[in-house]
Structure formats: C-alpha cells, structure tokens
Chains A and B, each alone.
Chain A
C-alpha cells in the first residue's frame, strides 16, 4: 500500500449519456475505480473515445456521474474547497481571445481571491516560466496553438495548486515545448504536487509517469506502476539475428516475424514467442546459422496496443447499449492495482 494520502479517489464511477432523437443510451465510462496518491505523476491513457475526457470532466464537475463518486483531497470533487486546490488544463483549450496574456492570468487569479500583490508577482513568474514574456501584452487571438497551450498551463498553476490535472498537455507543442512541459511537470512533482494527465504521446508518458491507467471503451484495463506493467510484457517477444538463408527462405521466415529490425543476408527479426519455436525450426531446417537470441523488454506502446486490440471486438461506447450489455471477455475484469512498493 502507498503511505501517501490519496489525492484522487474514484469509486465505481460510471457515466451514461442519452443521445439522438430516440434518446439512445451510451455508456462512456463504466465502473471506474482508481486512486492517485500525493506526489505521483499519474498517466491516464487510452485511445480516442476511451472515456478519458469524460472521466476528467466528472472530476472537474463539468459532467455529473450516473453512478459512483469522485473525491479530491478526501472531499467530493465538485466542492469548492477541492477546486481551490486544483489546477486544470482542458483538451484543445480555447480561451478568451480578446484578453492579453497578462489580463487572462489576472482574471483567473482574481477568481481564486489572490491578493493583488501576490497576483502580480505570480503572474509575471508564470508567464516567464512558460516562455511567454515577449507575448504578455498580446491578445490571445494572436497566439499560436503552442502559445495557447503554454498560457493554458500557466493558468492551471495560477493558484499554486496541490493537484494539477492536464488533459493532453503535449498536444500542439513542438519538441522544445514538450520538453518544457515535461520539465514543469517534474518541477511540480519535486515540490510535492500531484500530477494527473492524459496523453497520446506514449514516449512522454514513459518518461514522466510513476503509474499509469489504461482505459479502453470506458473501462479500466490496466493499472499499476510502469515498471510492473512492462515487466508483465517482458519475454513476450524475442529478437533473433541469423545468416545463411536464401532469399526465398528468408521471405518465408519473415512471414512469421513481428517486425524486421535489420534486413539482408545477415538479418535481425523480432518474433512473438508463440511463433518462436516454429521460426527457429524453420531457420535450422533451411540451413541458416543462428547468431543470437535476445528476449525483448516490453514497451508502453506494446502494452497500449495489446490492450486496445484485446478489446476491439467489444461494442464501442458510441453504439446503442439499450439491450443487455454483452458478457465481458475474461481480461476485462477490473484490474488489480499493482502496488508501487511491490
């Protein structure tokens, strides 16, 4: 168990929408439970339409849950005391484009009741921190997409929050911008803050997160530390380097491979372990020379793709589910959380 107090507690959260003329039932999130502890950087992953943004909106009080509850700092998430300690950046943010960067940050600071002396210092510091000092007096309508994302992050930090929730914070940023955001997230963690963010950019998630949750079709599929989740994947694939095969035999062997790392007469191929025996047998049968065999460590991308593929035959949340829900496959049972300390 984690010794840190829970900052986010989501218990059996579900959301159903009624859409269209016939008020069809659509379940966007089903029975979601997870806990995020103080000081964690938590990655919330899932393909488009998985229910990530709906979950985040329920945490923000923008959408009311159909069932279950969400607590922040031990109090209901829509309580103003919780919101006072929270910073939020929505997905694809649009802001008041008639305001200048300075006016924009001052507006939000005033909503938190921050006094004018603290406000002016904090606004200037944040503008500098997100690299927008040169554009502080420009109206937001003149900002580029990346600049909007940066000023959005600044507004999420205006109240010096204990918890920061970022929905796709890397979206629209160039590599330098992404690095800047990563640095901000690390700085937040170093100062004891908790960061919960959703992202499609798995490379950033791998670099940043202590723990991740993978959501597909509104349900939680995986939850745990990156280390433990990836350990589950290790030994699923093996990289083989060999030589001495004719072009025809090589083509036959390539059909069994997952991917080609190095082509040519001295080739390196990656095989899924379930086809490994067959591949080695074929290689030796055809007179090939096996030079090396290396079991591969799984990546977050492998895990993500595996989870998405495993659930692709389930009905999409955007399909009518007014009839009884189909039985869930075995691997869609609520996952057991992997302890950080395990």
Chain B
C-alpha cells in the first residue's frame, strides 16, 4: 500500500507540473465564469443556465482530463523508459498500475474540487443558497470520471495512446447513449446491427451517472438510486483495473 501511494504521489506531481492540464483547467474556469454572464442574458432562467452550464463544464472537462491523463501517463513511462528503472525496484506491476490510477484520480479530483468550489460560489451568489441535489449530480460525475480513467488505463496497458484515446472516448459516447441504444435494440430488424447493439449493452451505462438535467429541473434523486449507481460504477472500475493490471503484468517491455 505504501509503495502504491509513493507511485500515486509521483504521478500527481508529474501531472501538476504538466502545463497542458493547466490550460484545460483554465478553459473550464472561463466556462464557469461565462455561465454567469450567459445566465444574466437569459430572461428569468439565469440560475438554471448557470447550473446547467456549470455541471456540464465539470463533467466535460473532468472527462477530458480523465482521458488525457489516462492514455498518456502510462505510455509516457514506457516510451521514456522510466518504467525500466521503476520495475527493477521491489514493486509488483499491479502496484504500478494502481499507483498510476490513484495518482491520476488525485489529479482529476483536485482540479474538479476547485471547479466545484467555484461553481458552488457562483450558485450561492445568484440564489443565496445551494441545494444538496447539485452535489449528488457532481458526485456521480466524479464517479463517471473515475470510471473513464480506469477504462483509459485499461486500454493503455496494452495499446498506443491514440487507440487508447479512441477506444475510451467511444466507450464514453456509447455509455452516454445507452438509453437510445436500448430503444434501437428493440426496433432493429438487421441481425448484425442487433448483435453490435447487444454487445454495446455490456459496456457501462453512463446515463445512470448523468443526472445533471434532472437536478437542474428540481427532480429529487433518491438515496437508493445514488447507492446503486455508485456500486454499479465501482464494480466496473474494479473490473477494468483488474484486467488492466493482468494485461500489464504479462507484457514484455522490449
């Protein structure tokens, strides 16, 4: 556990010393501020616009950071051959994979915590109070980011950053479109399309985690829903990390 934390800390240090992440963060920051201005322009609905745009910004930039760090950081260790020295030390390869994962999460969640704090201030400024449902939505976005990071890490344990990025993004899009896929599955008559859609349904359904719209429209989210969504996501995360570690452990580093 100690070694895992040492690797996680080093990954975090690497990420926060990377300028690209700061530019992503800067754009997210700008978008949040823009939500305030756009809210002012929309007659009567300004708080809804702020909440909607704010939650979308947190989700979008979180996913961007997750994919970016997830596909690049492990590959960088292999490409720059820093991995050779690291794996000659008394650590298991699975400790390396999990250490990288937790380091990436720490990076993404630190940035998201800052964005969430700013978002909360904006909402407080506009409506003088903040409803807990907003934090429920943010919590599920965080879960989604943790899941997408594990998917990116899974792919980067055996393929190039380009393909890892493409595959991870595809799974993210399919996951978000799961309700539409389920409708299509019932309607299609083509067996090949049916088979492809059926296979897609085994991928994580990210629509469960996308409750931003419902929260903005004052819908209350029951505790059971939150619990089952968190459990569902955690199981997928464990699965992707397990297979990612397994594939990484069997790899030759030529």
Interface residues of A (CB under 8 A from B): 17, 54, 57, 60-64, 80-81, 83-84, 86, 88-90, 92-96, 98-99, 103, 107-108, 110-113, 152, 155
Q: A96 to chain B: closest CB distance in Å?
A: 6
Q: Is B26 an interface residue (CB 8 A)?
A: no
CB contacts (< 8 Å) of A88 on chain B: these are 84-85, 88
CB contacts (< 8 Å) of A107 on chain B: these are 6, 10
Interface size bracket, B side: 20 to 34
Measured in the bound complex, the distance between the Cα atoms of B90 and A84 in whole Å is 5
Measured in the bound complex, the distance between the Cα atoms of B175 and A244 in whole Å is 93
Q: B110 to chain A: closest CB distance in Å?
A: 17
Question: Is B88 within 8 A of A86, CB to CB?
Answer: yes
Q: Is B82 an interface residue (CB 8 A)?
A: yes
Q: A158 to chain B: closest CB distance in Å?
A: 9
Question: Is B3 within 8 A of A90, CB to CB?
Answer: no
Question: Is B14 within 8 A of A90, CB to CB?
Answer: no
Q: Is B80 an interface residue (CB 8 A)?
A: yes
Question: Is B14 within 8 A of A96, CB to CB?
Answer: yes
Q: A197 to chain B: closest CB distance in Å?
A: 14
Question: Is B253 within 8 A of A63, CB to CB?
Answer: yes
- Residue from B10, B84, B90, B252 in contact with A64 in the complex, judged by beta carbons closer than 8 Å: B252
Question: Is A83 within 8 A of B89, CB to CB?
Answer: yes
Q: Nearest chain-B residue to A28 (Cβ)?
A: B254
Q: Contacts A98-B13, A98-B17 given: A62-B82 contact, CB under 8 Å?
A: no
CB contacts (< 8 Å) of B6 on chain A: these are 107, 110-111
Q: A14 to chain B: closest CB distance in Å?
A: 14
5 further contact pairs, Cβ within 8 A, besides A17-B252, A92-B81, A103-B13: A62-B87, A62-B253, A63-B252, A93-B81, A111-B86
- Residue from A63, A99, A112 in contact with B89 in the complex, judged by beta carbons closer than 8 Å: A112
Measured in the bound complex, the distance between the Cα atoms of B30 and A164 in whole Å is 52
Q: Is B128 an interface residue (CB 8 A)?
A: no
Q: B148 to chain A: closest CB distance in Å?
A: 25
Q: Contacts A63-B253, A110-B6 given: A94-B80 contact, CB under 8 Å?
A: yes
CB contacts (< 8 Å) of A57 on chain B: these are 84, 253-254
Q: Contacts A17-B254, A107-B10 given: A60-B88 contact, CB under 8 Å?
A: yes
Beta-carbon contacts of B158-183 to A below 8 Å, as 1s and 0s? 00000000000000000000000000
- Residue from A80, A86, A93, A98 in contact with B92 in the complex, judged by beta carbons closer than 8 Å: A80
Question: Is A62 within 8 A of B14, CB to CB?
Answer: no
CB contacts (< 8 Å) of A94 on chain B: these are 80-82
The 6 closest A-B pairs by CB, nearest first: A88-B88, A80-B90, A83-B90, A90-B84, A98-B17, A84-B90
Q: Contacts A17-B254, A62-B253 given: A112-B84 contact, CB under 8 Å?
A: no
Measured in the bound complex, the distance between the Cα atoms of B18 and A152 in whole Å is 23
Q: Is B41 an interface residue (CB 8 A)?
A: no
Question: Is B13 within 8 A of A113, CB to CB?
Answer: no
Question: Is B90 within 8 A of A93, CB to CB?
Answer: no
Q: A219 to chain B: closest CB distance in Å?
A: 19
Report B86-101 residues with CB < 8 Å from chain A CB. Answer: 86-92
Question: Is B82 within 8 A of A95, CB to CB?
Answer: yes
CB contacts (< 8 Å) of B86 on chain A: these are 111
A and B contact pairs by CB, cutoff 8 A, 17 listed: A17-B254, A57-B84, A57-B253, A60-B84, A61-B87, A62-B253, A63-B254, A64-B250, A64-B252, A90-B85, A90-B88, A92-B81, A93-B84, A94-B80, A95-B82, A111-B89, A112-B89
Measured in the bound complex, the distance between the Cα atoms of B18 and A92 in whole Å is 24
CB contacts (< 8 Å) of A95 on chain B: these are 82, 85
CB contacts (< 8 Å) of A155 on chain B: these are 85
Q: Is B2 an interface residue (CB 8 A)?
A: yes
- Residue from B18, B81, B90, B253 in contact with A111 in the complex, judged by beta carbons closer than 8 Å: B90
CB contacts (< 8 Å) of B80 on chain A: these are 94
Measured in the bound complex, the distance between the Cα atoms of B84 and A93 in whole Å is 9
Q: Nearest chain-B residue to A54 (Cβ)?
A: B254
Q: Nearest chain-B residue to A97 (Cβ)?
A: B80
CB contacts (< 8 Å) of B14 on chain A: these are 96, 98
CB contacts (< 8 Å) of B18 on chain A: these are 98
CB contacts (< 8 Å) of B250 on chain A: these are 64
CB contacts (< 8 Å) of A83 on chain B: these are 88-90
Question: Is B87 within 8 A of A96, CB to CB?
Answer: no
Measured in the bound complex, the distance between the Cα atoms of B253 and A90 in whole Å is 12
Measured in the bound complex, the distance between the Cα atoms of B248 and A64 in whole Å is 12
Q: A20 to chain B: closest CB distance in Å?
A: 13
Q: Nearest chain-A residue to B84 (Cβ)?
A: A90
Q: B8 to chain A: closest CB distance in Å?
A: 12
CB contacts (< 8 Å) of A152 on chain B: these are 85
